[in-house]
Structure 1
Amino acid sequence: MSGAVSRANHLVHGMGTELEAPVWPAITEAEAEGVLAHFPQVGRVEALRWHSPRPFSAATLVEAGGETLFLKRHHRAVRSPAALGEEHAFMAHLRAKGLSVPDVMVTSDGGGAVAQGEWTYELHRRAPGIDLYRERQSWTPFLSHDHAFEAGVALARLHAASRDFAAEARDDRPLVASFTIVPSSDPLASAEAYLAARPALDAYLDGKSWRRELARLFDALGEGIVDRIKGRPTLWTHNDWHPSNLLWSVRGTVSAVIDFGLATRTCAIHDLATAIERTAIPWLEIGGNAGDPQAARALIAGYRTVLPLTGADVHTIARLLPLVHVEFALSEVDYFAGILADRGQADLAWQDYLIGHAEWFLSPPGRDFLSRLEDAA
């Protein structure tokens, strides 16, 4: 397999700026050969060309039968074949609507996933486009405001295509977005229900003053959210809209959307706020930085070229933004505390991500960011 990459020194993104040894080991050539044997339309494995630095799974680009394929491996506690089936159904719907998303390959028994021991695998044909951001951390900005604008265009097209996808919200799976606490008239009661469905998270937070912390954040940042969100139509959304989940054309437009692992039923405003939270604020190097409200406004401007956004919608995005990360942060705490039994990383997700990100919006730079975002209304 000449030209294949080595997995010996493979590192992945951590919760900070440094690369770390992977929790999930890189996929081997023999492993890839065993999995691809379940796909009769695929030729013999020729080489593994790249190992993904994303931390929550293992993935590689495989050259086989003259084409490049994307092979991804999940621990079965993170993604079962049934869970992948939910994502794949949404992707198939979007493809049928004309969106460019990865083509999920089907096994000899008609499924879209392979279960082997403790692992679950999925195989995609490589999506078209340039993977400009593939080595960059998820929480890093677009390279330009033009990219932010085009990302907004692509997000609106996805929302338009997903309107008639009828699947219900996904159940209590790890590392999946949700929309139950933030829009609730009683967020603490909804948080109690969220914890009750996740014993490892409940055990981790036992003894912490989590109720007081969440109550403080919702009191300070949640005023009016419920009324603003109430009655908005729900739809399946991407929920992880950041630069490295987009592929690009040479003209600088979005050529494909990838990684639907967090997709579920929320609402368009929630997805837009998530996209801004992921891309317009440099969380990994925040310091005294006020973020980039112009990038947020460019994303909204791009969105508006496809779907309407009223001034009230933009105000709602700004109100939702400081708390939009809360539920996925809890999911990360659950992943670290339960599946990995890594209390240190769970502490980081709870204190630095969930609480720290919300508190930033109470600081002068955070308040200035929200004010300048609302100017886009």
Structure 2
Amino acid sequence: MGTELEAPVWPAITAEEAGAVLGRFAGAGRLIALQWHSPRPFSAATLVEAEGGRFILKRHHHRLRSPEALAQEHGFIAHLRAAGVNVPEVIEAQGGTVLAQGEWTYELHRLSPGLDLYRDRPSWTGFLTPNHARAAGRALAGLHRAAQDYAAPPRGIDPLIAGWTILPAPDPAAAARAYVAARPGLSAFVHGRAWEEELAGVLGAAAPDLAAQPPMWTHNDWHPSNLLWTLGGEVATIFDFGLATQTCALHDLATAIERSAIPWLEMADGAPIKGDVAAALGLIRGYCDVRALSLADIDMTIDLLRLVHVEFALSEVDYFAGLLNDRAQAALAWDGYLIGHAHWFASAGGQAFLADLRREVRG
């Protein structure tokens, strides 16, 4: 939640561990070497060279990603892959695509084609060029085209999933109370604080026609470092579907803008921040290159920008307070993320960003 690297919560995957696990996945073969460890905070991942090729091996705590939750994620990836979307090949284990051992769940993806141009940049930092933003918009629209006929139910109440239960509800406040009550860690964290009033200040008057948006499984974590690239600046592969579940297309597009066009990590360092209108516009125009949006759709997307983080922010609080028992990080997720992002959109800088984006869309 800032520009400084934090020590990983989850221990790195060792060569001994990887060697033992690889034998349970079809065609992986014997371990040759571990080539890189991911610095991302919510799971342990490593780039593996093995007899069967090069793979990404990921390990999760079972309370974060149960075998059932990972199988849902893999089902969506398989659907997209069958529809011709460039997503990772998930390798079969014994009895499915998820390997459960003790407190851990493992998944193995064959290394996908493309340049990892953003590997050394923190998540939620911006695009290197406006052309990358437009290409990412096109790729997102292509994913949505392929996802339209995916009929799986939404994922459950596991932590770190970007759901769609509060904003489209007839009574968002009541939906928020139900969301909190279903998650003991989150419920314990907010006990004793005026959380309903704080959240009401974030929600404001949620647009009533959000409920009319067609439900669709979506990526929900669309930012440059979850994409691999071609030499020509197109998206070669889309990866990291850990937050994927059923939301709607405009929610996913708004998420892409919110995570890629606003330098949130600078806020954590106390710096004033300015949104990147060119990147936001590139995402919208690229999306419209492939999948048409009306001006009303675009207005709705811009309206969603101040709200689209709400449910995932609550899920992050639940993760830190419930699974990790880290109240300090939970407080940072609540105050800095849930409340802080909403406050920025209400600030002069946030209002200027939204106004400039609306003007450019119409220009």
Question: TM (normalized to structure 2)?
Answer: 0.97
Question: What residue identity is the alignment partner of 2:294?
Answer: T
Residues 5-154 of structure 1: matches in 2 within 5 Å?
15-65=1-51, 67-107=53-93, 109-154=94-139
Residues 1-377 of structure 1: matches in 2 within 5 Å?
15-65=1-51, 67-107=53-93, 109-219=94-204, 222-223=205-206, 225-227=207-209, 229-286=210-267, 287-375=271-359, 376-377=361-362
Q: Do 1:71 and 1:122's aligned partners in 2 also have CA atoms closer than 8 Å?
A: yes
Identity of aligned residues (%): 60
Q: Which runs of 5+ in 1 are unaligned?
A: 1-14
Structure-1 separation of matches of 2:37 and 2:201 = 42
Question: TM (normalized to structure 1)?
Answer: 0.93
**1:293 to partner: Cα distance:** 1.2
Q: Do 1:76 and 1:118's aligned partners in 2 also have CA atoms closer than 8 Å?
A: yes
Q: Do 2:166 and 2:175's aligned partners in 1 also have CA atoms closer than 8 Å?
A: yes
Structure-1 separation of matches of 2:83 and 2:310 = 31
Q: Do 2:26 and 2:91's aligned partners in 1 also have CA atoms closer than 8 Å?
A: no
Q: Do 1:53 and 1:135's aligned partners in 2 also have CA atoms closer than 8 Å?
A: no
- Secondary structure at 2:257's aligned position in 1? helix
**1:217 to partner: Cα distance:** 2.1
Indicate the RMSD between aligned Cα atoms, in angstroms. 1.0
Question: What residue identity is the alignment partner of 2:2?
Answer: G
Question: What residue identity is the alignment partner of 1:268?
Answer: A
Structure-2 separation of matches of 1:339 and 1:294 = 38
- Secondary structure at 1:93's aligned position in 2? helix
Question: What residue identity is the alignment partner of 2:27?
Answer: Q
- Secondary structure at 1:73's aligned position in 2? strand
Structure-2 separation of matches of 1:274 and 1:342 = 26
Q: How many residues align?
A: 358
Structure-1 separation of matches of 2:221 and 2:203 = 23
Question: What residue identity is the alignment partner of 1:60?
Answer: T
Structure-1 separation of matches of 2:167 and 2:224 = 25
Q: Which runs of 5+ in 2 are unaligned?
A: none
Structure-1 separation of matches of 2:259 and 2:328 = 23
- Secondary structure at 1:121's aligned position in 2? strand
Question: What residue identity is the alignment partner of 1:37?
Answer: G
